[in-house]
Structures are given as structure tokens and as C-alpha cells.
Chain A
């Protein structure tokens, strides 16, 4: 089953065309890594897929539901408010700089939406939270505040927060770019664990060996276009496109 489907998605900021027609499909259980030089539109792609920025034209479907679509007259329609809320509950996004809520404890960061958006009981929310904390190796950090955690721990909390409502697909925007190499390992280990559980994930990353080992498929993006895509090991070891080759040569 396709959990993410994008067809000819275009996005401009004023004059600047950042996505020039992106088509992409992600199947259930698949891990897709997106690599490419900075400024190539990777973050914008994730933001479009996660409704943070509106697209200009194209089609995006998540879990079979149409998020946005350009009709035959060239008019682009988004789903109505209610469907949008439903579609948003199907995915999670992990940000490069975590974006944890600094005034909430780790526990509240994870449970707040469960209780106030998904209307779960506090007990149920706490149970989900405890499970996730164990999975993240943070079982003793529930009462800590983000400011007292290392970057790696904060990122793991934000992964737990994104997982709490049990999304079908998880997006990551350079989850380790803000971290020291030492702290990166713990975060990558957690993501690897999710891949082993067949979590569907789209990961923008600069960690090439990680992408090769964990992803099923790698997409190389540059200049607002998908330049090359293929099975992970093949794309890393035998890139066909010249731009992919020269990009990978830098690693």
C-alpha cells in the first residue's frame, strides 16, 4: 500500500521555484532517504508533504487520502478542515532542531497532544509515554525538562512525541544535523530500531553510511528536482548521474 504519493508537486516562494515537479511514492514499511546539497529543496519537500507550507500545484496523497490536488482547470484544492485534521494524524515530523516545548516536561511534551487532541485518558497517555521512553532509552527522563537534556536526548524525545499518536508514516528533516557526532549515534540507533519494526519513514539526511544501511531506497535531490533514485546500496556505491557522483564524492 502506498502511504505517500506525490505527483508533479511544484512550490515557489515568490519568484523562486524551489520544487520544480516532484513525483515520489513511498510504500508501507519502506524507508526512503533523501540526500542532496543544501538549498536543493529537501526541507521544502517535507514541509509540503506535512502541510506546513502550501504547494502551488500537484497532487499529494497520504495513506490513500488526498491532501491536495490540482484539478483539470489548474486550480489547486486542499482537503477541508476536518479531513485535514484526519490526514495530519497519519504522519509525524521530526525537526532538525527538535522544536520541543521548553515549558513542558518530557512527559508532557509526549502526552499533551494525546490527552487534548486525541482525547485519551491521562492513564492511557502515560502508559504510551512510558513505553516510548523505554524504547528511546529515556525511561528516567520523564520528569526532566528539555533544557536539561543533551541534544541527542532532546531529539529522541521529539521522536517519541512524533510517535505518540501512532502515525503511519514518519518524516525526519536532518534529525542529527544539530548534534555532535557522539550524540548522533543514539538517535540513529533509535531510527534503525524503527526501521527494524517496519515503520514507514522518509528521512532527509547527510549521514551517507546510515542512509545506505537503513534505507531501502535513496533519492538524490538537487535544484528542486529528483535527479536520481534507486536502491540504497546501489545509489551510494554506483551513482549513475554526474551530479550524484560529484555530490557523493564529497563524503
Chain B
């Protein structure tokens, strides 16, 4: 017999990690992605070359593998004891998960942002320069707001993918929602925990779609 309350409390505990991974990844990967995009477009061939390789590795290898590399690298490469990397009561497994997700998603966001930035016509920069705006003012006041509008649909896609990708954290033994659901399904010999987890993911993405649609509508005052 399926025990709903046990499933709910386990899924709830897992959901906490799912949300932590989700929120911190967005928090870090979006600004990082912007920087990476800037680097990718740099006139300095060395910088743009390195960034190009970084992006292609991030996109060309499994995220699960990247998570393991981020987790084991400090020990394999620098001989650091992983337990020494605990911050407060945050185990390095979680830190590594967030780092791994952030650098992976930054690469995808960077390519989206690059497309968005390059779609801004040269004339916008010329007009801004002649009006006396500094480089930073031009970017933040003129370019970025237009880029945000351009990239919103693609960014929504990435965010929805991220919600589902959080389940990959299980490779570092993090009991996020999917791992919790698998555990409950096995111990209760029921498929219900998995179905419920599916519903949770679906609701999360439903909320994201509503929020992003609203944002898109808000920015549709011009075209």
C-alpha cells in the first residue's frame, strides 16, 4: 500500500535540494554567461579562443561527467581532502553540483546572449556614442534591455531544461527530488512516488512558463 505522507515528506526534502540547485545555478550562470559572451566576442584572439574551447567542451560533454570532474578535481589534481572543502554545514558535494551546473549553463546562456547582443544593430552603438554615452552606459542602458527582450524565449527554454536537469545531481549522491522519488518507489514498491515527482516538476515548469510569459508580454510594448 502506498504511503502518501511518507512520499510527500521525502519528496519535500528532495525538492529543497532541487530548488537550491535550481536557484543558485540561475543566480551564478546568468551573470557568468554574460561575461562569457563578452569574452567570446572579445577582439583579443587568445581570450575568445579560450572561451570558444570552454563553450565547446561544456556543450560537447555530458553534464553528469562535468559534475564528477568538478567534484573529484580538487583531490585528483591538487590533493585536497574533499571534506576540507565543506563550507559551514554545506558538503562539497552540493557546492560541486552548483559549480558544475553553473559553468555548464553559463556556456549555454553565453551563446544565447551572444546571439542577442550581435543582433543589436551597429546604429544603436553609433547613436549612443554620438550622444556621449560611455561604454558601460551604452551597454546597460541601450544594449542590454534590448538583448533581454531578444533572448527571453531562448532563456525560458534553458530554465525549463534546468529544472529537469537538476535530477543529474544524483551522480554526486545528492538526494534531490528525483532521487528521493526513486528511493520511495523502491521501498514502497509503487510507481506513485515517481508520478508525484513528475507532477512536481511539471508544476514548477508551469510556474516558470507563466512568469516568463508575463515578462515577455511586459516587454512587448515595443518591437
* Chain A residues at the B interface, C-beta cutoff of 8 Å: 50-52, 85, 88-89, 91-93, 95, 97, 99-103, 112-113, 116-118, 145-147, 161-162, 165
Q: Which of chain B's residues have a CB closer than 8 A to the CB of A117?
A: 131-133, 137
Q: Which of chain B's residues have a CB closer than 8 A to the CB of A88?
A: 129-130, 132
Cβ A165 vs Cβ B222 within 8 A: no
A76 and B121 CA atoms in complex are apart in Å by 29
> What are 16 inter-chain pairs, A to B, with CB distance below 8 A?
A52-B126, A52-B130, A88-B129, A88-B132, A91-B130, A95-B123, A100-B127, A101-B124, A101-B142, A113-B133, A116-B137, A117-B133, A145-B222, A146-B222, A161-B127, A162-B130
Given contacts A102-B223, A165-B132, 17 further A-B contacts (CB under 8 A): A51-B129, A51-B130, A52-B126, A88-B130, A88-B132, A89-B132, A95-B123, A97-B123, A99-B127, A100-B127, A102-B222, A103-B146, A103-B149, A117-B132, A118-B132, A145-B221, A165-B131
A102 and B149 CA atoms in complex are apart in Å by 11
A95 and chain B: residue at smallest CB distance: B123
Cβ A103 vs Cβ B145 within 8 A: yes
Q: How far is the CB of B122 from chain A (nearest CB, A)?
A: 9
Q: How far is the CB of A65 from chain B (nearest CB, A)?
A: 15
B129 and chain A: residue at smallest CB distance: A52
Cβ B133 vs Cβ A93 within 8 A: no
Cβ A103 vs Cβ B123 within 8 A: no
A117 and B142 CA atoms in complex are apart in Å by 13
Cβ B131 vs Cβ A161 within 8 A: yes
A146 and B121 CA atoms in complex are apart in Å by 15
B132 and chain A: residue at smallest CB distance: A117
A101 and B145 CA atoms in complex are apart in Å by 10
Q: How far is the CB of B200 from chain A (nearest CB, A)?
A: 37
Partner of B141 from the list A93, A102, A116 (CB cut-off 8 Å) is A116
- How does the 8 Å CB contact mask read for B206-223 relative to A, with 1 for contact and 0 for none? 000000000000000111
Q: Which of chain B's residues have a CB closer than 8 A to the CB of A112?
A: 131, 141
A101 and B121 CA atoms in complex are apart in Å by 11
Cβ A99 vs Cβ B132 within 8 A: no
Cβ A95 vs Cβ B126 within 8 A: yes
Q: Which are the 7 A-B pairs with shortest beta-carbon distances?
A: A99-B123, A113-B131, A117-B132, A99-B127, A145-B222, A103-B145, A102-B222
B144 and chain A: residue at smallest CB distance: A103
A52 and B125 CA atoms in complex are apart in Å by 10
Interface of A is mostly: loop
A159 and B17 CA atoms in complex are apart in Å by 55
Q: How far is the CB of B222 from chain A (nearest CB, A)?
A: 5
Cβ B130 vs Cβ A93 within 8 A: yes
Cβ B132 vs Cβ A113 within 8 A: yes
B121 and chain A: residue at smallest CB distance: A99
A100 and B123 CA atoms in complex are apart in Å by 9
Q: How far is the CB of A102 from chain B (nearest CB, A)?
A: 5
A91 and B130 CA atoms in complex are apart in Å by 8
Cβ A99 vs Cβ B222 within 8 A: no
Cβ A116 vs Cβ B221 within 8 A: no
Partner of A99 from the list B124, B221, B223 (CB cut-off 8 Å) is B124
Q: Which of chain B's residues have a CB closer than 8 A to the CB of A99?
A: 121, 123-124, 126-127
- Given the interface pairs A102-B222, A102-B223, A146-B222, the reply to whether A95 lies near B127 with Cβ below 8 Å is yes
A99 and B128 CA atoms in complex are apart in Å by 9
Q: Which of A52, A101, A117, A146 neighbours the largest number of chain B CB atoms within 10 Å of its CB?
A: A101
Q: How far is the CB of A46 from chain B (nearest CB, A)?
A: 11
Cβ A50 vs Cβ B137 within 8 A: no
- How does the 8 Å CB contact mask read for B122-164 relative to A, with 1 for contact and 0 for none? 0110110111110001000110011001000000000000000
B146 and chain A: residue at smallest CB distance: A103
A92 and B141 CA atoms in complex are apart in Å by 20
Cβ A147 vs Cβ B222 within 8 A: yes
Q: Which of chain B's residues have a CB closer than 8 A to the CB of A95?
A: 123, 126-127
Cβ A85 vs Cβ B124 within 8 A: no
Q: Which of chain B's residues have a CB closer than 8 A to the CB of A146?
A: 222
Q: How far is the CB of B60 from chain A (nearest CB, A)?
A: 35
Cβ A101 vs Cβ B132 within 8 A: no
Q: Which residues of B87-135 are within 8 A (CB) of A?
A: 121, 123-124, 126-127, 129-133
B134 and chain A: residue at smallest CB distance: A117
A102 and chain B: residue at smallest CB distance: B222
